[in-house]
Amino acid sequence: MPTTLVKLVGVDDIDIPSNAQTIRRVVDLSFVVDNTTSLVLGTDVSQDVIDRSKDFVGNFNESIDRIALVKYAFGAEVPVGFNNARGFSKATIENEIDAFEFGGNGNPNQFTNASEGMWRAIDALINVNNPASLRVIVFFTDGAPNTFASNFSFNGGIGNRIGAIRSSDTTSGTPRGLWEANMVADPIPSLGIS
């Protein structure tokens, strides 16, 4: 840097040292990935989803970050939850991503229960031990949700049922049926909904 006053004593310029440091906050990440049949119908992009998901996970630090993996289609599940301590196993998450079954064992129904996937992601972040100051949900999907889950109450002696309702593929919005939890292929026949 050029000088002004010290030029009187013969110093024309002075070297100024500098250094920089990048600091990144640790993160708790709920990573939600679409496993619906629509990813294999027409142009099969399921391998792209697997590859990009593993690439994405590779951007995080296994020692300090935490990742919970959530997958959804008809319902949602958390194959890899948060560790109690900081860190995660990249190999464990990649193995679970490699095991994705899009649409669930070849089921032709295109359930996209995004709401349950999001709920599971939020639940994981709310209940994590010693949460990070940065908590994030990353949501991978290829389309609009067409299914939602709840605890449904029915009259006429049927009682409460936990399940999912799927909309039709048309603009009518007519429900396609109520599917009980753990039943994917057939709607509940006793309800008279098809």
Q: Other CB atoms closer than 10 Å to residue 67's CB: what's the count? A: 26
Averaged pLDDT of the chain? 81
Hey, where are the domains in the chain?
27-140, 147-191
Predicted pLDDT of residue 67 = 98
Predicted pLDDT of residue 38 = 81
Please check whether the domain covering 27-140 is classified as CATH 3.30.450.30.
no
- Scanning the chain, the segments in alpha helix (DSSP H) are 46-57, 90-98, 114-126
Please give the average pLDDT of every successive group of 10 residues along the chain, which has 194 residues.
Answer: 76 81 88 89 87 96 97 88 96 96 59 87 95 95 78 69 67 58 46 42
* Amino acid of residue 88: F
